[in-house]
Amino acid sequence: MSIQPAVQFFDQSRARLRNRLFHALLAAGGLVVLAGLYAVYLMEHHGHIITGMNNQIVWGIPHVFAIFLIVAASGVLNVASIGSVFGKAAYKARAPLAGLLSIAMLAGGLTVLMLDLGRPDRIIVAATNYNITSVFAWNVLLYSGMFALVFVYLWTMMERRMNPLSKAAGFAVFAWRFILTTGTGLIFAFLVARQAYASAVLPPLFIVISFAWGMAVFLIAQAIIYAWNGKALAPEIMQRMKNLLGVFVMGTLYLVAAYHLTNLYFAHQSGFERFILAEGGIYPQLFWWGYVLLGNILPLLLIYLPGQGKTKSVIAASLLVIFGGFALLYVFIIGGQAYPLNIFPGYQVSSSFGDGQVAAYHPSLYEFLLGFGGLGIAFLIAAVSARALDFMPHDQPHSAD
């Protein structure tokens, strides 16, 4: 008779501790967001002169964070698509969580993108004077459409009366996220003024890297929500998902290799490829050590080596894939701008404006604060929503004990 009150007291104490931890995490996330907003205020007040960006490198660290969040927001929906479109029950149970993560990351990424424009108030001009020939204008519609479709998709899954429409909504989201990620790739593919871009390989590359980054983010979020609720993921489901992550990582590595090999085939791109892969200082270092080794080879070893593939190694692999994604975007976005424009092929160009010279870039603290502020927004949306609504996958997971 004396055991039951002790068990109840222990459960109540654990619940209070978890409640305090949750509020502490929310407070930490809120402080990160406030730090990002303070950085925005300083950049608006003093101008972008206080950042590392300049006339040559106009997309800095904030764009690395923003593009990662937007691309991963599309890729994380791959989990939902496998369930709704292809009828896999294990993935269908995870579709609501995938939809939540997509909305959270898309909101965080677009916030960073908007606040890094220098004049975010001028978005009103873009909204009231729509330029149908601009790929940036296309993406405004694509991002808005993604928000709307994912909200409808979540509604059809979480409202019993709307369940019959869930498959149709899943198909719509499946198609739209392909179009959205293609549009993100086209921003760079249509940018002929930079030798790093203007490649037809970029749209499919962005689609495949979205799969890898989205799956990595989902595996980490899923592990957190299971641990928070004292559950453990069934081994067979973890086996499927870690193998899928491995396939996506290999596909990403293949297309990145195809992109650089295609550039190497053209003589006018050889200088840029030497810069990115061998002679560009920080850029080849980040590419080979950050992206190829830590972001691809090591995760594949953690996934496929005998004795690996357990939850901890899969989470470690997912974290490394995310780190590799940031390294790749830094090389691609910033390295692509740092390389001098080849305005007059066959001639050496120099001027007081720095023509023909590699542009220097040293990211400032304000840029990092803005980028992490976007991550903080995504975290707050996901955490509060997961607490308020039921986003826990219901596939009868085993007890963690």
**Is the residue at 317 inside a domain?**
yes
The whole-number pLDDT of residue 400 equals 43
Domain that holds residue 377: 29-341+352-391
The whole-number pLDDT of residue 398 equals 47
Token pair for 292: 């190829």
Cβ(142)–Cβ(186) under 8 Å? no
Token pair for 17: 């501790």
**Is the residue at 281 inside a domain?**
yes
As for how many domains the chain has, the answer is 1
pTM of the predicted protein model = 0.91
**Is the residue at 1 inside a domain?**
no
DSSP secondary-structure letter at 398? E
- 272 vs 270: CA distance, rounded Å: 5
Domain at 148, CATH number: 1.20.1630.10
**Is the residue at 6 inside a domain?**
no
Token pair for 366: 């304000």
**Is the residue at 346 inside a domain?**
no
**Is the residue at 8 inside a domain?**
no
Q: Which residues does the chain have with pLDDT short of 70? A: 1-14, 118-119, 126-127, 193, 309, 343-347, 349-356, 395-401
- 197 vs 336: CA distance, rounded Å: 7
**Is the residue at 119 inside a domain?**
yes
The whole-number pLDDT of residue 66 equals 94
What pLDDT digit, counting tens, does each position of 114-152 carry?
888 766 777 777 667 777 777 878 888 888 889 999 999
Token pair for 245: 């992550």
| DSSP characters over 257-299 | HHHHHHHHHSGGGHHHHHIIIIISTHHHHIIIIIIIIIIIIHH
Q: Which residue has the tokens 């740092």?
A: 338
**Is the residue at 18 inside a domain?**
no
The whole-number pLDDT of residue 353 equals 66
What pLDDT digit, counting tens, does each position of 347-369 carry?
676 666 666 677 888 999 999 99
Cβ(126)–Cβ(149) under 8 Å? no
Q: In terms of C-beta density within 10 A (0-12 exposed, 13-18 middle, 19 or more buried), how is residue 313 classed?
A: middle
